[in-house]
Structure 1
Amino acid sequence: MDADHLSKRLAAVAAYVPANSRMADIGSDHAYLPVYLAKRQRISYAVAGEVVDGPFENAKAEIANQNLTECIDARLGDGVTVLKPDDNIDTIVIAGMGGTLISDILERGWQQLTGNELLVLQPNVGEYHLRKWLATHAYQITAEQILKDDGHIYEIMVAHKVKEPFSLSELDARFGHFLLANPNDAFVEKWQHEQQRNAHVLTALNHAANVPVAKQQELQREQQLIEEVLQDASTNLN
């Protein structure tokens, strides 16, 4: 992968960045995403944020090699705390890390957020936690996508600020409202895998000397939800 040939995952993330955005790519690594978008005149400005020296230097080098230093600014720092008010960022992308880490990054940088930013988030794991965080912080998910790329399954969430925090149903938090409405093969594969993993854990728990009843009951409830969701998904796909 390079700035001219994004992975399927990152290309899907790029598609959610609105035209002419002033974007921040947090955890930008080589800055492939903002460089890709800038070369296609899809964004007007970008901050490529990195918290680790090595990836930060990679981002600076890529931006310089592509002659985009006037359009993309690489910054070293913790998450969205690298942003400044006069950046006028309207889109924040955080992709390729766990959902808990993404929510922690947003939490730590809360004062840098104006509430006007579109969030484009791609957690590798921990989607349930991230959806719950968004709802309790008054961010409404307006689009979701699930896809398979290079043997891994990824979810993308797009969210914007609303007036008040709200509650998500267990189904929407765990599976995703839009993904439930339009399941695809990647969705089915993910939850079949989770179903199998839970079954193995339950078997191990049943043979434990001291069965953790609360954990056992939690997994049994999740298994029931997964079974119902997969049945509905099978009907929709057929």
Structure 2
Amino acid sequence: MLRLSKRLEMIAEQVPVGSRMADIGSDHALLPSYLAEQGRVSKAVAGEVNLGPYQAAAKQVRDAVLGSIIDVRLGDGLAVIEPGEVDVITIAGMGGALIATILEAGKDKLAGVSMLILQPNVGESFVRMWLLEHDWVLTREQILEEDGKIYEILTAVPAQLTEITNEKVYESRRVGEGIIANEELQLKLGPYLLQQPSSVWFLKWKLELDKLEMIRGQLAHSSLQESRSKEQIIEAEMKQIKEVLACLQKDKASFN
């Protein structure tokens, strides 16, 4: 019986029983193999763009004797599926900008897809923005720490399949006592994660502040005028994040 990482387990838990799924960038086809072993999917496509990972995924499926359920395909992004072929698409372990690019390039393949489960390693805002611009509604956000890394898992459904609206998801709301979180801020920090910030979420943004501080320090040593402009942008971003964290931590402390 296959064992998954906590990250992949959290993704697997969201795949509805009986789904036809496609896992893009399938990493040895671990996720579809696990779901097939559990009897959770009726069909799965494991897509890989490079030959080495494709061969590793094909071997995993052969060794597990799951070839009747899982079809391993070589191709770029959503090119490995046909419109209407799957209900659920998972894309995990890539940058958010790349995930958004894959979705954009293959958006004609999303006909009939009822759920996207996306796990960007970085650049979550690129994914949220793509979903918002293409009438996919974010229904759930999860965050976890595993092996020293922090991951967010974003789940979305087509707007026509839910009563939740993007206007409601991203409506301006008060954060803590003094800050109004507008759409832009929520695209960055996560609308659901902002409403129920966990210790892992706080840690993620403290680490992001450390990265921004390092970049700001590097820019401060540059004599280029362009560096001054970038430094000011980063300082404004850091100020905004610090204010949000301070408000939410104060709110959390008073609640406890």
* TM-score (normalised: structure 2): 0.86
The RMSD of aligned alpha carbons is 2.0
Amino acid at match of 1:215: K
Q: Matches of 2:195 and 2:84 in 1, distance apart?
A: 39
Task: Report what 2:234 is aligned to.
Answer: 219
Task: Quickly say closer, same or farther: Cα 1:234–1:65, change in 2 above 3 A.
Answer: same
The reply to whether residue 64 of structure 1 matches residue 78 of structure 2 is: no
Task: Report what 2:197 is aligned to.
Answer: 183
Q: Determine which of 214, 224, 243 is the counterpart of 1:200.
A: 214
The reply to whether residue 154 of structure 1 matches residue 136 of structure 2 is: no
Q: Matches of 1:152 and 1:25 in 2, distance apart?
A: 22
Task: Report what 1:75 is aligned to.
Answer: 73
After superposition, what is the alpha-carbon deviation per residue over 1:70-121, rounded to whole angstroms, capped at 9, x for unaligned? 111111111111112462x110000000001111111111221105330000
Amino acid at match of 1:21: S
Q: Matches of 1:160 and 1:114 in 2, distance apart?
A: 12
Task: Report what 2:124 is aligned to.
Answer: 127
**Contact 1:146-1:156 within 8 A present in 2 as well:** yes
**Contact 1:138-1:162 within 8 A present in 2 as well:** yes
Matches within 5 A, 1:1-238: 4-85=2-83, 87=85, 89-114=86-111, 116-162=113-159, 169-211=183-225, 212-238=227-253
**Contact 2:87-2:112 within 8 A present in 1 as well:** no
**Contact 1:99-1:125 within 8 A present in 2 as well:** yes
For CA contacts below 8 A with separation 6 or more, give which structure has more relative contact order.
Answer: 1
After superposition, what is the alpha-carbon deviation per residue over 1:121-174, rounded to whole angstroms, capped at 9, x for unaligned? 000011111211111111111100111010100110001122698795112110
Q: Matches of 2:228 and 2:72 in 1, distance apart?
A: 50
Q: Matches of 1:165 and 1:231 in 2, distance apart?
A: 27
Amino acid at match of 2:21: M
Q: Matches of 2:11 and 2:218 in 1, distance apart?
A: 38
**Contact 1:97-1:123 within 8 A present in 2 as well:** yes
Tell me by how many angstroms 1:236 deviates: 4.9
Q: Secondary structure at the match of 1:121?
A: strand
Task: Quickly say closer, same or farther: Cα 1:219–1:86, change in 2 above 3 A.
Answer: closer
5+ residue gaps, structure 1, are none
Q: Matches of 1:45 and 1:160 in 2, distance apart?
A: 20
Identity of aligned residues (%): 44
Q: Matches of 1:220 and 1:115 in 2, distance apart?
A: 44
5+ residue gaps, structure 2, are 171-182
Q: Matches of 1:137 and 1:61 in 2, distance apart?
A: 36
Structure 1 outlier segments of 4+, above 4 Å? 163-168
* TM-score (normalised: structure 1): 0.92
Q: Matches of 1:20 and 1:232 in 2, distance apart?
A: 43
After superposition, what is the alpha-carbon deviation per residue over 1:176-213, rounded to whole angstroms, capped at 9, x for unaligned? 00111111121111110111221222233233212434
